[in-house]
Amino acid sequence: MDRQQLQRALNWSWGILSVVVLGLLGAPFVVPHPRLAAAAPRCEARARYGRECSLCGMTTAFLAISRAQFGRAHAANRGSLPLYSVLLANQVCWWIFLRRRWRCLY
């Protein structure tokens, strides 16, 4: 595989991942919060071992972030705000990449 093919594969992978993340970040603005909370999977670590994993409370936290309840999000999972920020930054970078790519094509 040459460098151009690798670059194309990485761009496609980033694009697919970014579309999934866009759905994740956008869902609380489209789907009612109780429905999203009900659809969240049950934590296997909590069910099997009785202890929380690092992602426990993340759904609750992301729903709180979408309502601008940052204190509640931090209480649900301390890593939610940094993770949300990184995911949001990825979306901004992907959008900039697409705009630049679009300008080069036309």
- Separation of alpha carbons 63 and 72, rounded Å: 10
Q: What's residue 63's pLDDT?
A: 94
pLDDT tens for 88-98 read 999 999 999 99
Q: How many CB atoms lie within 10 A of CB 63?
A: 21
| Cα angle, residue 58 at apex, residues 60 and 73 outer, rounded to 5° | 60
In whole angstroms, how far apart are CA 46 and each of 9, 42, 51, 77, 85? Answer: 37, 8, 5, 15, 26
Taking a C-beta distance cutoff of 8 angstroms, is the pair 18, 94 a contact? yes
Asked whether the whole model's pTM tops 0.75, one would answer yes
Q: How many CB atoms lie within 10 A of CB 78?
A: 12
Element holding 63 (H helix, E strand) = helix 58-66
pLDDT tens for 80-90 read 999 999 999 99
Tokens representing 84 are: 């949300």
